[in-house]
């Protein structure tokens, strides 16, 4: 038997201190990994996470401007949340075969963007996401739809064509993904009121009061930023305001500073700061869209 084998065999029983040290070191290394995954839900050490996040990053870098402008640290947080969101929802294709990774990633990205300021971000009441290739006819409302949320069925519905149109112009304050997710957020807040209040109750009271005034004003005449649809009801006002908040933050801050300030407080994020926006450049881009 070669000499080094004998030496190795002798180490174990002859040096219990070394054996214990190695064992404890191994436990110390593995323990935080287990804790991190099970307690915080971080998927960093799941092998598929590495492969999937590479694909998510590729898709986000191509289509999601908000993601592209984040700091490296926030990008990591964003991708991790996209991963968790996708794992926690069921995506159902309607009138086509298979929901692609791009569809899942961008739908998740709209939810993650909206809730990026929160610690709890999964919106657990809504478990299913239904996707149609184009606008679809709603038998209940007897009209063609681009998207809707159905709290009773725990469902969010999108027309993929309309969803992707929302990302084509990032400054026109039209983004179906953010719009529907804003409805989801508000409904989640209602459902989970006693457990996790997403939206600060005091700020939300202020918001409701202010929204009612703006809705009345919008019914009287046009606004520089808000489309008329926002005057339908408080839900639509909230959803449209969120589209503007993210797509034209400089304009909203300049024209309706009180709306900007309240949304910033409610969502716990400032799109200008978090995206590290250069005022001049973005404001000019925003103003080109009329
Ligand atoms: Zn709506």
User: Which pLDDT tens digit goes with each residue over 141-193?
Assistant: 788 889 999 988 999 999 999 999 999 888 899 999 999 999 999 988 877 66
Instruction: Determine the pLDDT at residue 46.
Output: 58
Is pLDDT of 9 > 50?
no
In this prediction, residues 207-227 reach a mean pLDDT of 95
Q: Could you tell me the distance, in angstroms and rounded to a whole number, from the CA of residue 229 to the centre of ligand 1?
A: 9
Structure tokens at 67: 């993601």
Q: Ligand 1 centre and the CA of 200: distance in Å? A: 22
126 CA to centre of ligand 1 in angstroms:
16
Give the pLDDT of residue 34: 59
Helix (H) or strand (E) run with residue 147 in it = strand 147-150
Tell me which residue of 66, 46, 56 sits closest to 101, measured CA to CA: 56
* Average pLDDT of the chain to the nearest whole number: 86
pLDDT in tens, 92-148: 999 999 999 999 999 999 999 999 999 877 888 899 999 999 998 887 778 888 999
**Predicted confidence (pLDDT) per residue in 256-279, tens digit:** 999 999 999 999 999 999 998 876
Report how far ligand 1's centroid is from the alpha carbon of 93 (Å).
21
pTM, two decimals, is 0.81
- Tell me, in angstroms, the distance from the centre of ligand 1 to residue 72's CA: 33
Distances (CA, A) of 146 to 108, 142, 168, 204, 263: 17, 13, 16, 28, 25
Centre of ligand 1 from the C-alpha of residue 180, in Å: 6
CB 185 within 8 A of CB 211: no
290: exposed, middle or buried (C-beta count within 10 Å: 0-12, 13-18, 19+)? exposed
Show the domains of the chain with their CATH numbers: 30-194 (1.10.472.150), 199-290 (3.40.390)
26 pLDDT band, cuts 50/70/90, is confident
β-sheet bridge partners, residue 136: 145
Distance 163 CA to ligand 1 centre (A): 13
Closest CA to 208 of 177, 179, 184, 237: 237
Distance of CA 18 from the midpoint of ligand 1 (Å) = 65
């Amino acid at each position: 038997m070669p000499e080094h084998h004998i030496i190795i065999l002798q180490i174990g029983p002859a040096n219990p201190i070394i054996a214990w040290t190695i064992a404890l070191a191994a436990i110390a290394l593995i323990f935080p990994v287990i804790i991190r995954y099970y307690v915080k839900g971080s998927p960093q050490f799941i092998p598929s996470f590495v492969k999937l996040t590479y694909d998510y990053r590729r898709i986000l870098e191509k289509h999601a401007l908000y993601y592209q402008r984040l700091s490296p640290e926030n990008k990591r947080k964003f991708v991790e949340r996209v991963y968790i969101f996708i794992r926690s929802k069921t995506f159902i294709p309607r009138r086509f075969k298979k929901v692609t990774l791009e569809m899942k990633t961008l739908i998740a990205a709209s939810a993650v963007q909206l809730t990026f300021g929160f610690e709890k971000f999964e919106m657990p009441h809504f478990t299913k996401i239904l996707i149609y290739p184009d606008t679809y006819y709603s038998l209940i409302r007897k009209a063609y739809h681009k998207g809707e949320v159905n709290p009773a069925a725990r469902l969010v519905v999108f027309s993929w064509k309309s969803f992707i149109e929302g990302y084509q112009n990032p400054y026109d304050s039209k983004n179906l993904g953010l719009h529907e997710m804003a409805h989801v957020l508000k409904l989640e807040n209602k459902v989970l009121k006693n457990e996790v209040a997403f939206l600060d109750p005091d700020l939300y009271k202020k918001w409701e009061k202010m929204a009612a005034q703006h809705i009345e004003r919008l019914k009287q005449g046009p606004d520089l930023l808000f489309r008329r649809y926002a005057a339908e009801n408080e839900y639509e006002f909230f959803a449209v305001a969120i589209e503007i908040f993210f797509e034209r933050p400089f304009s909203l801050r300049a024209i309706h500073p009180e709306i900007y300030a309240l949304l910033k407080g409610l969502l716990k994020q400032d799109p200008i700061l978090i995206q590290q926006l250069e005022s001049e450049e973005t404001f000019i881009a925003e103003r080109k869209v009329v």
